Amino acid sequence: MSQLYRRILEKIRGRKTSTVVLILLPILFFFVSLFVGRYQIPPSMVIMTLISKILPIAHSYNIPKPIEITIIQVRLPRAIAAALVGATLALSGTSFQALFRNPLVSSQILGVASGAGFGAALALLLSGDLAVVQISAFGFGIAAVVMSYAISRVHKETPVLTLVLAGMVVGALFSALTSLVKYVADPYERLPSIVFWLMGSLAGVSFKELSWSFIPMIASCILIVMIRWRLNVLSLGEEEAKALGVDIEKMRVLVISCCTLMTSAAVAIAGVIGWVGLVIPHVCRMLVGPDHKVLVPASISVGAAYILAVDTVARVVSTVEIPLGILTAIIGAPFFFYLLRRERLGWR
């Protein structure tokens, strides 16, 4: 069994094979998420509905209004959001693991998820408007990372260990504030919505929410992809990176800023979804190796496919939708234990 496992990994790690698989994987799960749902729609009807919105010649095809609403207004924005959330969380985890040279670091290490969770809980308590909730979550997520970075600035430079500890302190602070918000919330009206949002879900996503979160997520992704070779240098250590002419402090600020924008936007539209930024980078290292020139695109692809698959399962496995945070923890924790037993975890 172990020999078969190694052979499969060797074949996947081939450049041509891995490129094809990484391109097709999220596309496959994207269309599966459009085809599958509680409301059964034939795949041919789904395809015709999509084509009718792209090609003018297909407008004459008679598509029932309920099907058009289900595909265009419900499933399509949800699938796009799932792909973006999965890609950004996985990419943030990969970038942070290289930056901190720690295989146990995730996209939530600097308190961004805790800050965004508090912002959303506070907005749900005071307002309840979805736009206010998302803006508040996005703003407090960024504020949490700014606080972590400010606390860690003991001297002119920012030691990695101090930055991680500052992130833990800020995360604990915002987690306590979130608990305080839940404590004072109305247990019959506000509290259930706060608890459900914190567990993570894409149920309420529409193109309106995607329109403002799309820009910071895509722009940050593109920037990280452009500088992905520098992550190889950062993962060697500070002394080696400085010897190769890399400005450690500027690169650290750039990577943290991009990852913060991506994670804050993801949490703002989907809630707190754990384990993605921790597990997916390790899965991608098993598939393509530790070189970030390949690992970064692989993390984007596998992360997008993973959340698309999990969100599809969350919608169809029961009559009541299961929060994404529950499923990612149920899947991620045992799988990470498997990685601990089978692989030597590391960033190289």
Contact predicate 215/269, CB 8 Å = no
106 by Cβ neighbours in 10 Å (0-12 / 13-18 / 19+) ranks as buried
> 144 pLDDT band (50/70/90 cuts)?
very high
pLDDT value at 17 more than 90: no
Angle between helices 207-226 and 76-100 (to 10 degrees): 30
Residue-wise pLDDT tens digits, 305-330: 999 999 999 998 888 889 999 999 99
pLDDT level of residue 1 (50, 70, 90 thresholds)? very low
Residues in the chain: 348
Tens digit of pLDDT for each residue in 188-229? 888 999 999 899 999 889 898 888 888 999 999 999 999 998
pLDDT digits (tens, 9 = 90+) for 238-288: 777 777 777 788 888 899 999 999 999 999 999 999 899 999 999 998 888
Domains of the chain: 2-342 (1.10.3470.10)
Spell out the residues 6+ positions from residue 76 whose beta carbon is closer than 8 angstroms to its own: 34, 50
Average pLDDT on 169-189 reads: 93
pLDDT of residue 199: 92
Q: Tens of pLDDT along 85-141?
A: 999 999 999 999 998 888 888 888 889 999 999 999 999 999 878 889 989 999 999
